[in-house]
Amino acid sequence: MNSQSFYWMSFSALDAQTRRLCGDWVKHVCQEQQKIVLMVTHEAMDAREWADQTLWVQPLQSTDV
């Protein structure tokens, strides 16, 4: 990796096995280079596997009825 401060990677088109390999690679590289990563995922398993911290976001409940 070069010294850029922002990368965009989309794992959404990858099959489960390839997505896991790519996520593991990103985690390894970032730990090795002491980088911080913001990963957005809809897969709870991905978040648990790759993150040391997670933030769960849910839609607001509408009060308009």
The pTM score is 0.62
**pLDDT computed for residue 29 by the predictor:** 87
Question: Exposed, middle or buried by CB within 10 Å (0-12, 13-18, 19+), for 23?
Answer: buried
Return averaged pLDDT per consecutive 10 residues of the chain, 65 residues in all: 67 86 88 84 81 82 72
User: 17, 11 in Cβ contact below 8 A?
Assistant: no
The residue type of 63 is T
Per-residue confidence (pLDDT) for residue 65, from 0 to 100: 59
Q: Is residue 50 a contact partner of residue 44, using CB atoms and an 8 Å limit?
A: no
52-55 long-range Cβ contacts below 8 angstroms, 24+ apart? none
So what's the pLDDT on residue 2? 56
